Amino acid sequence: MNPGVLTDEVTKKFAEKLSSKITDQLNTGILILDTDFNIVMWNSFLEVHSTKVSNDIIGKNVFEVFSELPERWLSRKLSSVLQLGTPNFCSWEQRRHLFELPHTRPITTDCEFMAQNCTFLPMEESGKIEYISILIEDATDVCHYQGQLQKALDKLALMSRIDGLTQIYNRKHWQESLEQEFAKARRHDKALSLIMFDLDNFKQLNDHYGHQGGDQVLIEISKTIGNLLRVEDVFGRYGGEEFAVILPETSILGAIELAERICQTVANTPIKFKESNIIATVSIGVAQLTERDSHFESLIMHADDALYIAKNNGRNQVCSGSDNELLKQVSA
Ligand SMILES: Nc1nc2c(ncn2[C@@H]2O[C@H](COP(=O)(O)OP(=O)(O)OP(=O)(O)O)[C@@H](O)[C@H]2O)c(=O)[nH]1
């Protein structure tokens, strides 16, 4: 026998043994399929992370063994790798997982199964593509931390829009919303109304019950009024004890009706603070967008003028009117 051939064979066998050992110790799943999608290889990583043992599934069709697989999507993907002879990739962000494998973070993550990055590689044999190798990487950690980061970003975004005391929108967000609603109302020729209200004699209330008592009133009134609104209405804290509600697609009549309800509900809802039941009242100004209003701020101005009249008329009441009538009343 030719000693060169012997050495080649020994080297080949050694290389095969070595590659099989490496394959079994890899921290990556390797699944090899033939052109009919029958399983040719299912490595140790996949055995450890699934209930399937290589000997039981070799030779079987992958879709028969794993009923959870998205058959249409995966067959198309595999066929394109076979036809084009080029690798393909699917990240966990596109499809969270291919196989329903349990992960090793059972408590701390929202992921139900191991998140997977999958690489599809065509494998040539004698110049023909005979197999596809699917490499499966565990991406659960990345997926988990990305999820945590997204939650933190969502919370930050929400906090930047919310008033810390009353948990309703802050002035900045409320005003941005009014700007958008103003543009929408103009574009679609829809009604838009505004309610602005201010707690009556709040300085006295603060002096009597202390700042904590005043804070409790602001919190409770925000909750009470929040419950009277529709989901499309935008409720915000405009200033210290001044609030505002944007009412999209609402005429002045609808806005006045709601304002009356707010006024009565506040006056009829005592607020518990320590041993006391605090009765607070509000004065309300209502305005509707008119053709002459070229900017969203004029709507605020009209509602604020009406609020001023409500205060002057004795508080705990609703006031509204067209800008001309109001101006006459304000300057009278
Ligand atoms: N407790 C508390 N008080 C606040 C807050 N923001 C503003 N105030 C108080 O609200 C009071 C508002 O007083 P004024 O502007 O004189 O108005 P008012 O006493 O309500 O009188 P009218 O509006 O004319 O009925 C001030 O004493 C502010 O310190 C807050 O977040 N918490």
Q: Is the CB of 181 under 6 A from ligand 1?
A: no
Q: Is the CB of 273 under 6 A from ligand 1?
A: no
Looking up residue 80, the CATH number of its domain turns out to be: 3.30.450.20
> Residues 118, 213: one domain?
no
> Residues 60, 135: one domain?
yes
Q: Is 184:190 a contact under the CB 8 Å cutoff?
A: yes
Token pair, residue 147, equals: 């999820």
158 CA to centre of ligand 1 in angstroms:
26
Higher pLDDT, 122 or 328: 122
Listed residues 90, 119, 147: the one ending a domain: 147
* Residue type for position 61: N
Whether 215 maps to a domain, the answer reads yes
> Residues 180, 315: one domain?
yes
Q: Token match 């009565």: residue? A: 264
> Residues 132, 264: one domain?
no
Position 125 scores a pLDDT of 81
Whether 222 maps to a domain, the answer reads yes
Please check the confidence at residue 112 and state whether its pLDDT lies above 90: no
- Backbone phi and psi for residue 30, each to the nearest 5 degrees, phi listed first: -125, 120
Listed residues 96, 112, 147: the one ending a domain: 147
Higher pLDDT, 250 or 13: 250
* Number of compact structural domains in the chain: 2
Q: Is the CB of 240 under 6 A from ligand 1?
A: yes
Higher pLDDT, 218 or 330: 218
Whether 16 maps to a domain, the answer reads no
Closest residue to atom 32 of ligand 1, CA basis: 215
> Residues 120, 237: one domain?
no
* Residue 197: partners with Cβ closer than 8 Å, 6 or more residues away: 242, 243, 244, 259, 262, 263, 282, 283, 284, 285, 307
Whether 203 maps to a domain, the answer reads yes
> Residues 143, 206: one domain?
no
Q: Are strands 234-237 and 242-248 parallel, antiparallel or unpaired?
A: antiparallel
Which pTM does this prediction carry? 0.71
Q: Is the CB of 241 under 6 A from ligand 1?
A: yes
Instruction: Report the distance separating Cα 216 and Cα 111, nearest Å.
Output: 40
Q: Is the CB of 311 under 6 A from ligand 1?
A: yes
Q: Please, what's the b/e burial string for 20-43 (b: 16 or more CB within 10 A of its CB; e: otherwise)?
A: eeeeeeeeebbbbbeeebbbbbbb
Q: What is the pLDDT of residues 15-69, one digit of tens each?
A: 777 777 777 788 899 999 999 999 999 999 999 999 899 999 999 999 999 999 9
Whether 238 maps to a domain, the answer reads yes
Please check the confidence at residue 329 and state whether its pLDDT lies above 70: no
Listed residues 114, 147, 180: the one ending a domain: 147
220 CA to centre of ligand 1 in angstroms:
16
Please check the confidence at residue 327 and state whether its pLDDT lies above 50: no
Whether 204 maps to a domain, the answer reads yes
> Residues 282, 199: one domain?
yes
Give the residue numbers spanning the domain of 40. Answer: 25-147
Please check the confidence at residue 3 and state whether its pLDDT lies above 90: no
Average pLDDT estimate for 149-160: 94
Choose which residue among 199, 241, 308, 315 to substitute to test ligand 1 binding: the one with the highest number of ligand atoms within 8 A of its C-beta: 241
Half-sphere exposure of 254 (CA within 13 A, CB side): 15
Average pLDDT estimate for 181-187: 96
Number of H helices, E strands in the chain: 11, 12
Please check the confidence at residue 323 and state whether its pLDDT lies above 50: no
Looking up residue 241, the CATH number of its domain turns out to be: 3.30.70.270
Instruction: Report the distance separating Cα 208 and Cα 188, nearest Å.
Output: 49
From the CA of 212, give the closest atom in ligand 1.
1
